[in-house]
Amino acid sequence: MSQPLPEPSTTEILAGFEVVVGRPGAWDAEAPLYFPDSFAVIPTPREKVTEALLSLAPHLKIVSNCAVGTDNVDLDACRRLGVVVTNTPGVLTEATADLTWLLILAVARRFREGDALIRSGSWDGWKPLELMGLSLEGRTLGVYGLGRIGRAVARRAEAFRMKVISLAGDDPPEAFERLLAESDVLTIHAPLTPETRGRFGADELARMKEGAILVNTARGPIVDEAALAAALASGHLGGAGLDVFEREPAVHQALLTFANVVLLPHLGSSTLQTRLAMARTACEEVVRVLGGEAPRHRVA
């Protein structure tokens, strides 16, 4: 296990196995020591499972990724080596959708600025022109990626009486152009693939609606952070909410300077119930595969 997970997961489900738990941030040093004796590996999104590491693991049967995304795992190498790869879909859908709306509302209603004003001690009472934000009713929510999480986010838009437009993987190019041109709030829920990497660059951001808000709770490299900073600095975009980053855990320094940008440390699935469900799902897949059963959430 690359780092400690919420319990009871390993202590209960993996009882009877020898479980080695790594330290957060120590993967590069520890993984080469663990892989030669490992029959199963449970990484989290921050740890890369590369072909070089896989070549050190003659006994490895499964990489049980404790995440819904698998961009941290070399899937092609796993297929060549006959290593099963699984993920934890479904259990984090609602928590991530909730957090997406936290970001939408925080940016639209200028939460950071309001909180900072109160804490500064300088607020002297209600004013008609103070910190006016964006009303969501009647606005258009654009959803890039209509999987489980994207659909959950879209459902929540009904409560705000927003119009929803979306883009799925097989939609024509003109659907993407409509998403850029019409969305007052554009939220990203696609996996990181060669096609989606850098999908929101300078040209795409320039084609977004003037004053629009961009939210990303999917994978950081889908958005070019330098281009996003430039679009915010020019005033073309009205704000951004990010839970993931292009070079995570590093954040583009310019993004730290904008009052209309809300930044969170990859908290999409971070509720006690959700993270525990993820950990238990990952452990259960290990038990199934090492026991000769078919996994429930195989991706490779």
Catalytic residue positions, numbered:
219, 248, 266
Contact 85, 78 (CB under 8 A): yes
Identify the sign of the CA torsion 247, 248, 251, 255: positive
CA distances from 257 to 113, 121, 229, 252 (A): 12, 21, 9, 10
Peptide bond connecting 194 to the previous residue in cis, omega within 30 degrees of 0: no
What type of residue is 3?
A: Q
Q: Would you state the structure tokens that stand for residue 180, as one six-digit string?
A: 């850029």
Q: Would you state the structure tokens that stand for residue 248, as one six-digit string?
A: 């995570």
**How many degrees, rounded to 5, is the angle at CA 151 between CA 148 and CA 153?**
110
What backbone phi and psi angles, to 5 degrees, belong to 188?
-105, 130
- Tokens 């790594």, residue? 22
Cβ contacts of residue 206 below 8 Å, gap of 6+? 231, 236
* Cα(272)–Cα(65) distance, integer angstroms: 18
